[in-house]
Every structure is written in C-alpha cells, then in structure tokens.
Amino acid sequence: MKDLEVRLAALDPDAGAAVRVIAYFDQLTSARAGLEAIVRGAAVLAGCPVWLTDDGRRLSLRVDPDGHPTPASGPPDPDWPHHQLDPGARAAVWLERPGPAGPVEAMVLERAAAAARSVLDRTRGRAPAADQDAAAVEVLIDEGARPEARRHAARVLGLPADRPLRAVARAGAPARIEPAASAGPAADGPRAGIGPAADLAGLPASWAAARTALRFTADGTGEDPGPRVVHADDLGALALLAPSVSPGVPPIPDELALEHAAAAAPWMLATLDAVAAHPSLRAAASALRLHHSSLQDRITHAERLLAWPIRDPHGHHRLYLALALRRLRRHPA
C-alpha cells in the first residue's frame, strides 16, 4: 500500500491522497473505532468542521478541525458537501463549508460515511423519540473518546460526572446510561443487561459487561423461561461462558439433552428453570404453584429424558449451566 501511495503521488497527488484516506478509514473500521473517532478523523483530514447526523436515531455529532467535539448551533446547511450513509436515508456526513467537495474531500466523506454506518449497524437500532441523545451515549461507551468529550456528553444527558454510572443494554433498543443508584429497568419490561457501576472512563467496560449480561436474559415465557433483567455483577465466573457460545460453535451434549427434554412436554422448560433457580424443591414447587409431589413426578420424568439426576448438587449445577448455555445460544452477541 505504501509503494502504491508513493507511485500515485508522483503521478497524481489527489490519487495518492485518496489512497491514504481509504487506508486510514479502513484501519478505523478494523479497530472498531467509535463515531467520535471517525468524525474526528474526517475533520482533521478535511481541514474543516465535520458533522454526522442521523434524524432517525436523533443523532448529531460535530467535531472541529482540531479534533474537538463541539455543540452544533443548528441543523446542517443543505448546500454543504455531504454523503448519505445509505441511499435515501436521513443520515449523512457533512463538511461544514460552502462549495463542492474536491476529489480528496469526496473520498473523506464517502469513507467516513461507510465507517460510521458500520458502527451504527453493530451498536443499535433506531432510537425512539423519548430515549436519550444517541450521540452523547455513543461518546460515553466509545473506548476512544477523550475525557473532555465524555464530560460534555454526560452534561448533555444530565448525568452527574462525579457519581457512579452504569450502562444498560436492552433488547431491540439503544444503549442507555443511568446513575448506578437508579432503580433500573422493570422486571416485566424488555430484556435488559445491566453493567457494573463505573466512572466516566469505565463506561465502555460497563457497556461491554451489560451486553454480556443481556445474553443471559430470557423472554420469561414457557419457551424461554428465566430472568428478563440480569446484572453483570451477579454473573461472576458465569460470564466466561459467553465468548464460547456462538453460531459457529456446535452445542454440547447437555444442551442437546435439554432440547430433547423440552420437546417432550410444554411445562418442561419452566419446571427445570424453577428447579435450577430455587434453593429447594419446595421453593420451586411454590413458584410453579404445584404440589410438592406433582413436582417430584415432573422431575422424575425430566431426569429420565436428560439422562442425569437434577436433585443432587452436581446434577443441579449441571442443569443450571445447561439452561445458561441455552440462553446464550438463543441470544447471540
């Protein structure tokens, strides 16, 4: 790539510069850089303020040519050079200056838009109108964001910068940052993973932990029984299971045995989840609103299908892990 740049620069300075722009944004994408880093790179390369806007996600991020995120004074001028993230989308990268974009500036816009699109595609869906400012949240969970940018984002969200905060990952919803002392998501609401308490610098790690915790949640139905809200702090060593369960990794025999048992009766998964989640069979029977003897009959049937006992400590632990693996399988990263 370096040899190509030198040769192109000798023939055509704009062509050599365009190749360097491509390489720069490809590197940012490979490093999974956040939105602020992408917009900052575009502003420095273009030598003028650069905006990233997405009306659907309520996102507006402006960075000056010195690399500092600054508040926008209003909407971008439609006459500014810009590149849409997708054809027909209400999302674009803008150069804050009049006149058409030159060849290198056009390449900066195109590659920055592609890099930003990859970030938005992997981090969240479309934000509801009543949710937090998407750009500010993105800065707080971006590992590459600078301290002053984090403090500015916290002020935008009305969050105390001197008190513990935490990230919340919700199924089908944008990331959320909230005070660690808040009540948190409702147990009967959307599935949610709650990250550990952290200062501003620790919010990216809290977000990563929250996303892991989200995978251990369940829909709370007969097909997917279990907790709808999971705290990362409560997972302990269980969190180490998450990276080992992915679409490319085949299920282990205990997972297959659990699916075999689940297919035998509509009550099976809810019963096994109650047994695994409670310290005694009587407590499990009470949660299921079953007579103790009826639960014993169900367990006998389940043990025959699973091919291992679930009433002794080892078998109980084995069942708990099998159910956790099933949730991870149903809710991939």
Domain parsing of the chain, residue ranges = 2-123, 166-238, 245-330
How open is the CA angle 135-154-170, to the nearest 5 degrees? 60
Task: Quick: pLDDT tens for 150-177.
Answer: 999 999 888 988 899 999 999 988 899 9
Q: What is the mean pLDDT of residues 25-46?
A: 87
State the Cα–Cα distance between residues 51 and 77, nearest whole angstrom.
11
Please name the amino acid found at residue 177: I
How many C-beta atoms lie closer than 10 Å to residue 18's C-beta? 20
What does each C-alpha distance from 10 to 59, 107, 235, 309 come to in angstroms? 41, 19, 58, 75
Q: In the predicted model, is pLDDT for residue 242 greater than 50? A: yes
pLDDT above 80 for 135? yes
Angle between helices 268-277 and 313-330 (to 10 degrees): 120
Rounded to whole angstroms, how far apart are CA atoms 19 and 5? 6
Contact 50, 93 (CB under 8 A): yes
CATH architecture type of domain 245-330: Orthogonal Bundle (1.10)
Q: Does residue 84 have a pLDDT over 70?
A: yes
User: Across all residues in the chain, what is the average pLDDT?
Assistant: 87
Over residues 268-287, the pLDDT tens digits come to: 999 999 999 999 999 999 99
Which range of 49-63, 204-218, 236-250 scores highest in mean pLDDT? It is 204-218
| Sheet of 165-170, strands arranged across | 176-179, 165-170, 192-194, 229-231
Which of 297-332 are b and which e, b meaning 16 or more Cβ less than 10 Å from the residue's Cβ?
Answer: ebbebbbeebeeebeeeeeeebbbebbbbbbbbebe
Mean pLDDT along residues 296-303: 95
Residue 81 is predicted with a pLDDT of 93
Report the pLDDT averaged over residues 68-91: 81
pTM of the entire structure? 0.67
Report pLDDT for 6.
39
